[in-house]
């Protein structure tokens, strides 16, 4: 199901848009989708950073853990 949104543009811009045979609604949809994708990636990176900070102060040295586990500190 689709939703309707309204976008206001300056009159000068609208006049320039009229010169070209472009499906402006499609351009706007693509721009919104691309921007949302960027925001979601930024959000995922932030969550990843928060998880990393909580795990061993953000540093995970597998060799150190293996040696400790084997009693070879």
Does a structural domain hold residue 6?
no
Look at residue 59 in the predicted model and tell me its pLDDT. 64
Residue 11 lies in a domain: no
pTM of the model: 0.65
Q: What's the number of domains the chain is made of? A: 1
CB contact at 8 A, 17 and 9: yes
Question: Could you list the residue range(s) of the whole structural domain that residue 37 is in?
Answer: 17-69
In a domain, 62, yes or no: yes
Give a yes or no: residue 30 inside a domain. Answer: yes
Q: What is the pLDDT along the chain (73 residues), one digit of tens a residue?
A: 999 999 999 999 999 999 999 999 999 999 999 999 999 999 999 888 887 777 766 566 677 777 877 876 5
Does any domain span residue 37? yes
**Would you list the DSSP string of 34-62?**
HHHHHHHHHHHHHHHHHHHHHSGGG---H
Confidence (pLDDT) at 18: 96
Run of H or E residues at 31: helix 24-54
- The pLDDT value recorded for residue 30 is 97
């Amino acid at each position: 199901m689709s939703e309707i949104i309204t976008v206001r543009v300056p009159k000068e811009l609208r006049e320039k848009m009229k010169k070209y045979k472009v499906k402006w609604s499609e351009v706007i949809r693509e721009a919104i989708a691309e921007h949302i994708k960027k925001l979601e990636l930024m959000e995922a990176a932030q969550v990843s950073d928060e998880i990393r900070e909580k795990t061993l102060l953000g540093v995970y040295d597998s060799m150190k853990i293996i040696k400790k586990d084997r009693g070879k500190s």
